[in-house]
Structure 1
């Protein structure tokens, strides 16, 4: 069976990483899996050169028995090209991100309006977001084969659009992401905090973590704040003076090394987060984590005692979490041990088994 994964732009993101993992695992299992793209911006380590196409109508796309798209616009283009069996791999239900923008829960710098006409510009943005939601939902209603990377998304997609949705669990390389037994808490006299993700992605709500760090630094708590993103820092990150170190485009091995020098991992994502690989990678690396109480993170394990959970939009609770983990060694060790167990259940081997089952039973 020849399987073609199409993603228009190859860059450094969790979604692209998952696609590359799928292609690699399928090849190792004997499938003829290929990666198809139009543009390689900046990518993770590519084990095989992708097939680069030029025709906007996908006329030069190589023949495959099955095509897989993950970005809704890519799925729409594949469907309109009438290439063959089509899988819509959901890594996050995009309308939730736009709903958060409409409600004003998370507005990225691009859509922060100021000045006399800001109210009217905001209303135009809301109309644009509502139109985008309708467009995305129309893609999910297409007669494609649905699959998702978390149990939460499987239930959401299956319930909302019917016809079922397969589960292909995300996994990490446990040979890369592992603890360093020699690591000592606060080695340099500071608590090293790590946040991963782009400020320009609304559902990441990095601003809540920034607000928590601001409070910690104002309280003279000795923290060092490290940010990692696929792109350059936002204006807020550059001007706030809160970020001590900013990394962009790190490789998987570089990320693993960074986790192993981290004291606390923080993610303040909103409900629009589809899965979230960084929390799993951090816990596999022996890092206690502060996570928001969102469906994606709760679906990691039935028991919520593997991380310090806080409500969304509550920087003050993130501050409490940092202080609690810093002051209570037993609490910290408990989260490290239980988080490691949860991370081990998200191995690439599990992903391989899910992929095998999917292409045998659903295609």
Structure 2
């Protein structure tokens, strides 16, 4: 994203969002720079960045209940955290509106949204067949197909000139956070990790190339975090430690992903692909909790046992008071404060 690198202006945006963030420590927020150098933000992914698309699906996993959203004006938007996601903070970083979930928009509204759209859907993955048993969601392939409709049918209503539309897309950011569910739902111990990772990366590369063919030029791609250290996984080990076998299973994917991104850049010189290293970020926090200010990195801020699993249960679970000191909000998703820190420490491109 070198062409979009902003002159960083370290401005405090809390005053404009005080009602949404009043319960959180401002130390992370005050370090987020604001820039006007990006045209739009388009978001693809799973529950890590779903902003509410699953709320509009008849048979999908969703969190349209409190305490999810307790720090988002006390509103359960469908985000799988207490407040904003990483994608939301990227939008704030570039002075954009938070990308609305595609399915929340009417056909008329879709022809007026210029700051970007969120297509993410909780539960799905890179493989088209990755989904929770018996439930619906949008795979990455489906999300890209819907985005293509946005480019073909909606954006031309605002940007009629094809060259101007191409420049708009070239000056937009495309954030992709996906792959976790492919391992939690599709991978089992009978799979060869190398073969599974290779197959997943072949599919993922095709998706990235398809986005490029539609017009994307600046792509920010998450790798897969240490899944074995999620509270849901720690709970299953019964010894209070990370599931290191699960962490090992994803290493083949994570180790090959940077080269895949470089290969695409080599093939398409006007494309820039940036790795958002979720794995190293979370491992750094787990290795030095005091440095980051967290006091709890193993337990969910919101979680009770339900049928042997940890879950944030509607009308039952009470979240912790000091949410900015918890790495995880629920058993599988990071807190708003951790999401902010990820953008601050891992995604800001400095001159």
The TM-score by the shorter chain falls in which range?
0.3 to 0.5
Q: Comparing both chains, which one has the higher relative contact order based on Cα–Cα distances under 8 Å and sequence gaps of 6 or more?
A: 2
> Which structure shows the bigger proportion of residues in strand conformation?
1
TM-score normalised per structure 1? 0.35
Which of 1 and 2 has greater Rg? 1
